[in-house]
Amino acid sequence: MHSIRTYNAISPTGLSLFPSDSYHVDSVVGEPDAIMLRSHNLHQESFPDKVKAIARCGAGVNNIPIEQCTEQGIVVFNTPGANANAVKELVLAGMLMSSRNLSTAAEFCQNLDQSLAIEDFNKLVEGGKKRFVGSELTGKTLGVIGLGAIGANVAHAALALGMKVVGYDPVLSVDAAWRLSSEVERADNLPSLLARCDFVTVHVPANEYTVNMLNAENLEQAKRGLVILNFARGTIVEENAIVSEIESGRIHRYVSDFPSAQLMGREQVILLPHLGASTGEAEDNCAQMAARQLMDFLENGNIKNSVNFPEIHLSRTEGHRIAFANDNVPKVLSTVLAVLSDMDINVIDMLNKSRGEIAYTILDVEHLPTDDLIQAIENIEHVFHVNVF
């Protein structure tokens, strides 16, 4: 029986994929084999030795101590692209809310004097509307920072609306580059992107390289009337700089999914309660993908969409499976194979992959591995987390 501890509201569509006769899934499991979560912060928590994997139902993994997990041999998964459409739609909503002044216009209507006679009421409506005259998206320029799953979706939707799109992503993967329309122009740096855009949207992960990526220095180069959209993480945009450029009139609107006390109460700021991935469809997609990845790992040792371990898939053979992780240094695999050879154990199939400082091997052997064999592999220097499937 595998036990999975959950945090946050995870879609039942995903949780129901775990067969109840072989999985115990609950929010109160004390010593789980794996953890499944959304934005719950794990940074202050320690993980019992039994924990083998953590699955983030979503994209951002800044709530998980990845380095600590890697040291403990815990495989961390996320679900790339599973909520990208939901975020794209909210970015479009944010652009429309800003360009047509929708939040202030809607608030104006909610506060109209209901006691007025119908003619006076209508006069107020018609008279008031000139305060909210907006502009159209077609023909405007959108800057997209980070052209991964969400950024590419947003870029393509903006092109379809007749906008020009400029992208900035110096670490774009080859796969992501293949998916991107050739109509997306490339900016070499942030100041040049900011200088020519009417809207700028950020879609990069929160990490040490992206803290305050939009800041006082580069926002000084921005075109007047700029709308900035932040559906990535609060830390990516320097709030003090946003506030001062709002006060200078350079920034027309700041739309953020990450509210803070400093941003509240300003007409030019539209705040949402981290709603980007909160659609039924995205929650289902993320939970299903996370559940499938966890099951394939816990049952077969295969790894797909991990942020700290190599991708690896070995189809099951008739044999018995052993998988182990080790420091990515010479001679570990040959030592393991020598142990098998000394014990007269025949290897049917094998796959070894590495990623940075971690190596991971799946071995299918002819006979059921004994405790002595597992102990012998565990005793080899640099090997950690040996599992039998």
Ligand X SMILES: O=C(O)[C@H](O)COP(=O)(O)O
Ligand Y SMILES: NC(=O)c1ccc[n+]([C@@H]2O[C@H](COP(=O)([O-])OP(=O)(O)OC[C@H]3O[C@@H](n4cnc5c(N)ncnc54)[C@H](O)[C@@H]3O)[C@@H](O)[C@H]2O)c1
C-alpha span between 314 and 303 (Å, rounded): 10
Q: How far is the CB of 335 from ligand Y (least distance, A)?
A: 36
Q: Which of residues 317-376 bind ligand Y (CB under 6 A)?
A: none
Q: How far is the CB of 201 from ligand X (least distance, A)?
A: 15
271 lies in the binding site for ligand Y (CB under 6 A): no
Query: Rg of the Cα trace of the chain?
Result: 26
309 lies in the binding site for ligand Y (CB under 6 A): no
Side chain identity at 344, as an amino acid letter? D
13 lies in the binding site for ligand X (CB under 6 A): no
C-alpha span between 252 and 32 (Å, rounded): 49
Q: Report the residue from 14, 32, 58, 151 that binds ligand X according to the rule CB under 6 A.
A: 58
Q: Which of residues 285-304 bind ligand Y (CB under 6 A)?
A: none
For ligand Y, the closer of residues 39 and 328 by Cβ is 39
Q: Which tokens hold the place of 285? A: 């997609």
59 lies in the binding site for ligand X (CB under 6 A): yes
Q: Which of residues 114-153 bind ligand Y (CB under 6 A)?
A: 145-151
User: End-to-end distance of the chain based on CA atoms, in angstroms?
Assistant: 12
Strand 2-6 to strand 23-26: parallel, antiparallel, or no bridges (unpaired)?
parallel
Other CB atoms within a 10 A radius of the CB of residue 67 amount to 9
Considering CB under 6 A, how many residues would be counted as binding ligand X? Answer: 10
Give the range of 56-64, 147-155, 236-244, 315-323 binding ligand X by CB under 6 A. 56-64
For ligand Y, the closer of residues 266 and 274 by Cβ is 274
Work out what residue 200 binds among ligand X, ligand Y, none; the CB cut-off runs from 5 to 8 Å by kind: none
What is 28-47 written as a DSSP string? T-SS-SEEEESS---TT---
Instruction: Give the helix/strand (H/E) hosting 2.
Output: strand 2-6
Q: Report the residue from 209, 265, 368, 371 that binds ligand Y according to the rule CB under 6 A.
A: 209
CA within 13 Å, CB half, 260: 16
Q: Report the residue from 13, 132, 205, 339 that binds ligand Y according to the rule CB under 6 A.
A: 205
Q: Identify the bridge partners of residue 360 per DSSP, sorted by sequence position.
A: 325, 353
What is 130-186 written as a DSSP string? GGG----STT-EEEEE--SHHHHHHHHHHHHTT-EEEEE-TT--HHHHHHS-TTSEE
Kindly compute the dihedral angle of the four CA atoms of residues 303, 305, 308, 311, in this order, to the nearest 10 degrees.
Answer: 50
Q: How far is the CB of 166 from ligand X (least distance, A)?
A: 24
Give the range of 57-65, 189-197, 220-228, 239-247 binding ligand X by CB under 6 A. 57-65
C-alpha span between 108 and 99 (Å, rounded): 16
Residue corresponding to tokens 């309660």: 273
Work out what residue 33 binds among ligand Y, ligand X, none; the CB cut-off runs from 5 to 8 Å by kind: none
For ligand X, the closer of residues 58 and 65 by Cβ is 58
Q: Report the residue from 32, 81, 276, 369 that binds ligand X according to the rule CB under 6 A.
A: 276
Residues that bind ligand X (CB under 6 A): 38-39, 57-60, 83, 276-278
Residues of the shown chain interacting with ligand Y in the complex, contacts defined by CB under 6 A = 58-60, 80, 83-84, 87, 145-151, 168-172, 176, 203-206, 209-210, 231-233, 257, 274, 276-277
